[in-house]
């Protein structure tokens, strides 16, 4: 059975709503329309308008309302329509969602899932293509999760909704329509991946690509192309930026001695900078070359006709691999 990421996310929401009466979905256009990406398709029809609530168009209000609902014991799942449309809710995210458990000495946790379609590569207008993960990952108190595969999008979203901590769930919108042979019904609870574990998507011996979300398929493509250059590249899918899986990442880097971090977001002060620093601090004596980064340029997201120059490509990744100080 062929399943898209959108369908898998939809199944995860549906199964979560069925499994727990406290789960509520709310956001803009999530009801009759099923969300602008159709991730909430059919939920209002099955569970009623109250459990899949069309809200006023106000992101801070949506999240602030979700905070109050969570205080009362519900598990709200909030949809932010686009990456850049989530910015009005930042004060609620940073000042309350991330801090309430700590502020109250553990007495008031907020089990809120904030779904954010993110990233470019879809020909979107400005404000529809941002990679906003570093803002969230820099804020203690949040978990930041991003699936890169159809199976993970189901499993990680189930885990996010079940988590007692707030989770910013970043959905790579250019993978929304990627389909694989997979049925959500086949995923048993035991197979639902825990939050905080990276996964080696491709073993390799020459160098290790560290990536997540929308850049995973690009890295896998680069690894396939690298074979003709004589390189056997490992590819690690981080899946969770917070908590960060130092163990899996460092094991994979030590095994090859070379690493390249790949993400779409601007490189300066980005998540890749943190990863490169962590790897260098922990694996220095195993490294044959500095950890390199292939990222979006340090520019506002470009217009659709120019975005191909901005996004990490197979060629840019292979060029970085070539610069890993190989012995002649």
Partner 1 sequence: MTVLDDSTAPGLVGPPNSHGPRRDPAPLLPDPEPVRILGTPAAKMFDTELQRELYRRLVLGRRFNQQATTLTRQGRLAVYPASTGQEACQITASMVLREQDWLFPSYRDTLAVVARGVRPVDALTLMRGHAHSGYDPYEHRIAPLSTPLATQASHAVGLAHAARLRAAADPETAEELVALALVGDGGTSEGDFHEALNFAGVLGAPVVFLVQNNGYAISVPLASQSAAPTLAHKAVGYGIVGRLVDGNDALAMHSVLSAAVEHARSGRGPVLVEAITYRLDAHTNADDATRYRSAAEVDAWRARDPLTLLERHLRAAGLLDDAGVAATARAAEDLATEIRAQFDNPPDPDPDSLFTHVYATPTSQLREQAAELAARRDADAYADAAEDEDEDEAR
20 near partner 1 (CB under 8 A): no
> What is the C-alpha R_g of the chain?
20
Q: For residues 13 and 147, give the distance between their C-alpha atoms in angstroms, rounded to a whole number.
A: 15
> Per the structure block, which two tokens stand in for 276?
């490169």
Q: What angle do CA 242, 158, 146 make, to 5 degrees?
A: 35
Query: Which one, of 94, 86, 90, 95, lies nearest residue 115 by Cα?
Result: 86
Among 13, 23, 100, 219, binds partner 1 (CB under 8 A): 100
Residue 87: name the closest of 68, 59, 67, 112 by CA: 59
- Count the helices and strands in the chain (H runs, E runs): 12, 14
> Strand, coil or helix: what is 208?
strand
In the list 29, 41, 61, 87, the residue contacting partner 1 (rule: CB under 8 A) is: 61
Q: Given candidates 1, 18, 19, 21, which one binds partner 1 under the rule CB under 8 A?
A: 21
Provide, rounded to whole angstroms, the least separation between the CB of residue 32 and partner 1. 16
Beta-carbon contacts of residue 123 (< 8 Å; ≥ 6 apart): 304, 307
Does 88 engage in binding with partner 1 (CB under 8 A)? yes
Report, in Å, the least distance between residue 82 CB and partner 1. 18
- Closest CB to partner 1 among residues 141, 213: 141
Position 55 contacts partner 1 (CB under 8 A) = yes
Of 24, 96, 127, 128, the active-site residue reads 128
- Assess 49 for contact with partner 1 (CB under 8 A): no
Q: Determine, following the binding rule CB under 8 A, whether residue 280 of this chain makes contact with partner 1.
A: no
For residue 285, indicate whether it is catalytic: no
Exactly one of 247, 281, 298, 319 binds partner 1 (CB under 8 A); which one?
Answer: 247
Residue 64 touching partner 1 (CB under 8 A): yes
User: What track of x and - describes contact with partner 1 for positions 105 through 134 (by CB under 8 A)?
Assistant: xxxxx-------------------------
Conformational region of residue 119, where left means phi above 0, alpha means psi within -120 to 50, and beta covers everything else = left
Among 8, 10, 24, 270, binds partner 1 (CB under 8 A): 24
Sheet holding 292-296, edge to edge: 199-202, 233-237, 207-211, 259-266, 292-296
| Segment lying near partner 1 (by CB under 8 A), choices 139-147, 152-160, 201-209, 312-320 | 139-147
Cα separations in angstroms, 230 against 223, 254, 292: 10, 20, 19
The residues assigned a catalytic role are 128
Residues in contact with partner 1 by CB under 8 A are: 21, 24, 50, 55-56, 58, 60-61, 63-74, 76, 88, 91-92, 95-96, 99-109, 140-141, 143, 163-165, 196, 242-244, 246-247
């Amino acid at each position: 059975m062929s399943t898209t990421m959108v369908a898998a996310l939809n199944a995860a929401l549906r199964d979560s709503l069925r499994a727990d009466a406290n789960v509520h979905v709310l956001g803009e256009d999530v009801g009759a329309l099923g969300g602008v990406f159709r991730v909430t398709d059919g939920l209002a029809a099955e569970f009623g308008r109250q459990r899949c609530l069309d809200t006023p168009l106000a992101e801070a209000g949506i999240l602030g309302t979700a905070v109050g609902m969570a205080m009362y014991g519900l598990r709200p799942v909030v949809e932010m329509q686009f990456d850049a449309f989530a910015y009005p809710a930042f004060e609620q995210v940073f000042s309350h969602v991330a801090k309430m458990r700590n502020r109250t000495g553990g007495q008031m946790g907020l089990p809120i899932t904030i779904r954010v379609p993110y990233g470019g590569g879809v020909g979107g207008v400005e404000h529809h293509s941002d990679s906003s993960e570093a803002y969230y990952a820099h804020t203690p108190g949040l978990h930041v999760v991003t699936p890169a595969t159809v199976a993970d999008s189901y499993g990680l979203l189930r885990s996010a909704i079940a988590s007692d901590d707030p989770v910013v769930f970043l959905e790579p919108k250019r993978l929304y329509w990627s389909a694989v042979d997979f049925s959500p019904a086949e995923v048993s609870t035991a197979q639902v991946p825990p939050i905080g574990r990276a996964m080696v998507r491709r073993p390799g011996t020459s160098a290790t690509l560290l990536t997540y979300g929308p850049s995973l398929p690009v890295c896998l493509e680069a690894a396939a192309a690298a074979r003709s250059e004589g390189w056997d590249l490992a590819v690690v899918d981080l899946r969770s930026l917070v908590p960060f899986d130092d163990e899996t990442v460092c094991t994979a880097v030590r095994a090859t001695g070379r690493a390249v971090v790949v993400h779409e977001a601007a490189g300066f002060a980005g998540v890749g900078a943190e990863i490169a620093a962590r790897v260098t601090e922990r694996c220095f004596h195993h490294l044959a070359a500095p950890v390199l980064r292939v990222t979006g340029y340090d520019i506002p997201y470009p217009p659709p006709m120019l975005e191909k120059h901005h996004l990490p490509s197979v060629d840019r990744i292979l060029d970085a691999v070539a610069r890993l100080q190989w012995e002649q």
